[in-house]
Structure 1
Amino acid sequence: MKKIIYITALVFLTSSFTVSKRIEALIAKEIKSIFSVETFQKKNISISNDISENLPQKITDTNFYKIYNNQKLLGYYYFGQAFGKADYFDFIVIFDKNLIVSKVKVLVYREDHGGEVGSKRWLNQFSGKSKADNLIYQKDIAAISGATISAKSMTNEINKLLKTVQILHQKQVL
């Protein structure tokens, strides 16, 4: 029995840190749409341990990338997770080359309730925000009836990401 639990936990952990081909395809579609390109290259952003340990949002070699087309920097994207009422949901934030949010999209929402957090209209509130912004739920970002926990969580995750981007920009990593 312990062996089954161990194997299940191992499979869960390894799968939670990889991005499926389906998710990669969704991300590629959004990037191509935002930057009006047919092809692009992504390059992960390397961050030293001394900078990484002080960031509000954990940045790894699998969640934050520079986006290039013909060796010209187009922008950046971050793949993250936020917590709903009982489960995590996956989202991306696409930044332009000036680190202004171009788009936020929920890729996978795993709960029965609160899926309104993935609506384009609600997510458009984050577009145009920059590293200088500090977003306040119900003031800067509208509340969603029936998705309070997910909406607050998403707002908090975006805030942590904006603060992280600000630090990385100050440290000249971006």
Structure 2
Amino acid sequence: MKFRKLIPVVFSVLFLMSFGIPKTLDKKVDKEVKDVFDITSYNFTNVEVSSNINSQLPSSITNENFFQITAKGAVLGYVYLDKAASKTAQFDYLVIFDKDLKIASTKVLVYREEYGGEIGSRRWLSQFTGKSNKDSLDDIAAISGATISVRSMKSAMSDILESVGILHNKKII
């Protein structure tokens, strides 16, 4: 009986690892996807983007950082993983889009600085929820002591929103 409950977890982890998500992040990504869509199992599918179209995107889309999420044959949304600059290092972040290409969730997965880690708070990140490529990010609040990280995250989010809009207009997603 316990083995049956582990099967979806094992398959989810195997899917994450087989598509290039770093092992150090796969459990965090898996948990967030399951929480956002309230599911126990799902599949990732690579989104193939030609180099010609990729050159037109503000964010680089690869088969290691952008995936379609499906469950029971239905598209639930998309996952995007990337890094953004902080003062002296980079932080890893995750963006989950719903099937309508609106942000369902954002999460800072790994923050490597002593200061500015406040951008990882759910409260601050929730400002991005519901945003699409048609929305401005001018209303995203600043955080004292995290100016560089906030600007970097806002810029990164603006770039992926624009990229997702372009991919949608070109009927890739």
**Category of TM-score, reference length = shorter chain:** 0.7 to 0.9
Of 24, 34, 38, the residue aligned with 1:32 is: 34
Distance 1:82 1:150 in 2: 8
1:155-174 to structure 2, matched below 5 A, reads 155-174=154-173
Shift of 1:21: 2.1
Can you list the C-alpha shifts for 1:21-62, whole angstroms capped at 9, x where unaligned?
231110000000110100010011001121111111111110
TM-score (norm 1): 0.86
Distance 1:80 1:48 in 2: 19
Query: What residue is the counterpart of 1:123 in the other structure?
Result: 125
- Which runs of no fewer than 5 residues in structure 2 stay unpaired? 1-19
Taking only the aligned residue pairs, the percentage that are identical comes to: 45
Of 20, 45, 49, the residue aligned with 1:47 is: 49
Distance 1:53 1:119 in 2: 33
Write the letter of the residue equivalent to 1:156.
Answer: S
Query: What residue is the counterpart of 1:149 in the other structure?
Result: 148
1:81-160 to structure 2, matched below 5 A, reads 81-136=83-138, 140-160=139-159
**8 Å contact kept, 2:21–2:65:** no
TM-score (norm 2): 0.87
Shift of 1:19: 3.4
Write the letter of the residue equivalent to 2:147.
Answer: T
Distance 1:145 1:76 in 2: 31
Can you list the C-alpha shifts for 1:96-142, whole angstroms capped at 9, x where unaligned?
00001000000000011100010110000000001212312xxx110
Shift of 1:75: 0.5
Can you list the C-alpha shifts for 1:80-101, whole angstroms capped at 9, x where unaligned?
1110000000000000000010
- Which runs of no fewer than 5 residues in structure 1 stay unpaired? 1-17
Name which of structure 1's ranges 20-29 and 147-156 shifts more when overlaid on structure 2: 20-29
How many correspondences in the alignment?
Answer: 154
Query: What residue is the counterpart of 2:64 in the other structure?
Result: 62
Distance 1:81 1:21 in 2: 15
Distance 1:161 1:129 in 2: 11
